[in-house]
């Protein structure tokens, strides 16, 4: 946890002022330029003109028909994600800059989950006419910020129009040495089940934003009540990818036996590891790490915080298994919490409650925006 929190607040992504102000920032503050004024090529130029390539493996970035990469003797990891307005995000309370940042992070997180290091991204966007050039620049300022912070090069993309809102799809490429690759499928019975950071915060942040959005829709003069909940708002609006954990694994000589990132909620991710590795699991309720703001918000909204951790999703922490011999290497590290252990497949995947009873885990998945 410490390592994550020590990454600190990212001043350039001001959280407080932006939620619920989007309509204002888009329409009143600045002069707006319509995309048709610039044209597709003009827009791409505006969005990519300040890119400075950072990685040796990037030979050619934006500007030709395709990018050229050179990974020498390394293996290449590729992953992609698609986000649609109204399904995956609501622009009433998700600022465009944060959306751009988060769209990059969710991809970097997938690369981390393979124990690899992200190096390049490509960005595809479809835009309806409600978006001005300035709005798209705002989206890209978040994308560029994530690229800077994580040392990733934006090497290409595609731009097109849409009839309904914004769609954004990002692909990421990363590198890894063959012997370091970690799949979902390597867990063995008796392995320890570990997680980084804390869980349920992103979900509770979303609940808070949705509640305040409802209030705002009823009366636009009411200011949102967000004080005291910075951490869970950040977890929802400005998640981070655990590249620091991948480096920590290298430094301490740990190679997880299996790994996955938590995008859909602990419960369903555990079940993926169990299914792919053909093992069972005991997860201990009292070991699941949760921040005090997550619990406080849950109490305020009358939600069991355990549900947020198990089924909430979007925490982008890493869930992994290690063999018992590696226990000594991680036991004192505050970044890792041991939350259970793997078992024979016949025992199934269970949540062991604080009172000691075992309940079969259920994969609910994460129904975005619901």
Chain contacts with Mg ion (rule: CB under 5 A): 158
Runs of H (alpha helix) within 49-173: 96-112, 133-150
Cβ-contact 181, 128 below 8 angstroms: no
Minimum Å gap between C-beta 28 and ligand ADP is 26
Minimum Å gap between C-beta 48 and ligand ADP is 5
Minimum Å gap between C-beta 175 and ligand ADP is 20
Percent helix, strand, coil in the chain, to 5, is 40, 25, 40
Q: DSSP assignment, residue 73?
A: T
Q: Which is nearer to ligand ADP, 27 or 160 (CB)?
A: 160
Taking the C-alpha atoms of residue 152 and residue 118, their distance in angstroms, rounded to an integer, is 7
Residue among 64, 73, 214, 251 that touches ligand ADP (CB under 6 A): 64
Minimum Å gap between C-beta 63 and Mg ion is 12
Q: Which is nearer to Mg ion, 158 or 299 (CB)?
A: 158
Runs of H (alpha helix) within 195-345: 201-218, 230-237, 243-252, 266-277, 292-300, 305-307, 327-330
| Residue 369 interacts with which of Mg ion, ligand ADP, none, CB < 5 to 8 Å by class | none
Q: Which is nearer to ligand ADP, 100 or 312 (CB)?
A: 100
Cβ-contact 240, 7 below 8 angstroms: yes
Mask for 132-161, x = binds ligand ADP (CB under 6 A)? ----------------------x-xxxx--
Residue 234's alpha-carbon distances to 9, 16, 142, 202, in angstroms, are: 9, 10, 14, 8
Q: Which is nearer to ligand ADP, 140 or 320 (CB)?
A: 140
* Bridge partner residues of 121 (DSSP): 154, 172
* Run of H or E residues at 45: helix 35-48
* 100 touching ligand ADP, by CB under 6 A: no
Q: Which is nearer to Mg ion, 122 or 311 (CB)?
A: 122
Minimum Å gap between C-beta 100 and ligand ADP is 11
Residue among 26, 47, 111, 193 that touches ligand ADP (CB under 6 A): 47
Taking the C-alpha atoms of residue 114 and residue 162, their distance in angstroms, rounded to an integer, is 33
Taking the C-alpha atoms of residue 190 and residue 344, their distance in angstroms, rounded to an integer, is 8
Q: Which is nearer to Mg ion, 19 or 157 (CB)?
A: 157
Q: Which is nearer to ligand ADP, 64 or 251 (CB)?
A: 64
* 173 touching ligand ADP, by CB under 6 A: no
The pair phi, psi for residue 90, each rounded to 5°, is -120, 115
Minimum Å gap between C-beta 45 and ligand ADP is 8
Name residues contacting ligand ADP, limited to 108-127 (CB under 6 A). 123, 125
Q: Which token pair is 116?
A: 């690899």
* 227 touching ligand ADP, by CB under 6 A: no
Number of residues that bind ligand ADP (CB under 6 A): 14
Residue among 19, 20, 26, 48 that touches ligand ADP (CB under 6 A): 48
Taking Cα atoms as reference points, which of 340, 349, 339, 190 lies closest to residue 274? Answer: 349
Taking the C-alpha atoms of residue 229 and residue 211, their distance in angstroms, rounded to an integer, is 13
Output the residue with the shortest Cβ distance to Mg ion. Answer: 158
Contacts with ligand ADP, residue ranges (CB under 6 A): 44, 47-48, 62-65, 123, 125, 154, 156-159
């Amino acid at each position: 946890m410490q390592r994550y929190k020590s990454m600190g607040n990212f001043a350039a992504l001001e959280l407080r002022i932006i939620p619920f102000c989007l309509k204002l920032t888009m329409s009143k503050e600045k002069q707006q330029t319509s995309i048709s004024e610039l044209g597709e090529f003009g827009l791409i130029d505006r969005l990519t003109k300040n890119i400075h390539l950072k990685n040796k493996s990037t030979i050619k970035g934006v500007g030709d028909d395709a990018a050229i990469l050179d990974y020498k003797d390394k293996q290449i990891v590729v992953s992609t994600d698609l986000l649609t307005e109204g399904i995956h995000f609501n622009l009433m309370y998700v600022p465009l800059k944060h959306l751009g940042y988060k769209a990059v992070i969710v991809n970097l997180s997938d690369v981390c989950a393979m124990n690899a290091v992200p190096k390049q991204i490509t960005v595809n966007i479809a835009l309806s006419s409600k978006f001005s050039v300035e709005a798209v620049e705002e989206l890209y300022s978040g994308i560029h910020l994530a690229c800077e912070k994580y040392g990733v090069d934006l090497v290409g993309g595609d731009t097109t129009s849409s009839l309904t809102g914004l769609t954004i799809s990002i692909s990421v490429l990363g590198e890894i040495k063959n012997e370091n690759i970690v799949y979902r499928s390597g867990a063995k019975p008796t392995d320890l089940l570990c997680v980084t950071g804390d869980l349920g915060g992103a979900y509770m942040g979303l609940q808070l934003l949705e509640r305040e959005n409802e209030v705002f829709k009823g009366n636009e003069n009411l200011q949102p009540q967000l004080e005291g909940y910075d951490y869970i708002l950040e977890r929802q609006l400005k998640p981070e990818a655990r590249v620091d954990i991948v480096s920590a694994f290298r430094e301490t000589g740990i190679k997880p036996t299996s790994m996955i990132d938590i995008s859909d909620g602990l419960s369903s991710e555990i079940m993926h590891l169990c299914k792919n590795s053909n093992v069972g699991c005991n997860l201990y309720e009292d070991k699941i790490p949760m921040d005090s703001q997550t619990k406080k918000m849950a109490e305020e909204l009358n939600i069991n915080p355990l549900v947020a951790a198990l089924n909430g999703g979007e925490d982008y922490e890493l869930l992994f298994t290690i063999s018992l011999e590696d226990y000594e290497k991680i036991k004192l590290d505050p970044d890792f919490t041991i939350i259970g252990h793997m078992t024979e497949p016949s025992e199934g995947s269970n949540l062991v409650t604080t009172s000691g009873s075992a309940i079969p885990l259920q994969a609910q998945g994460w129904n975005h925006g619901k």
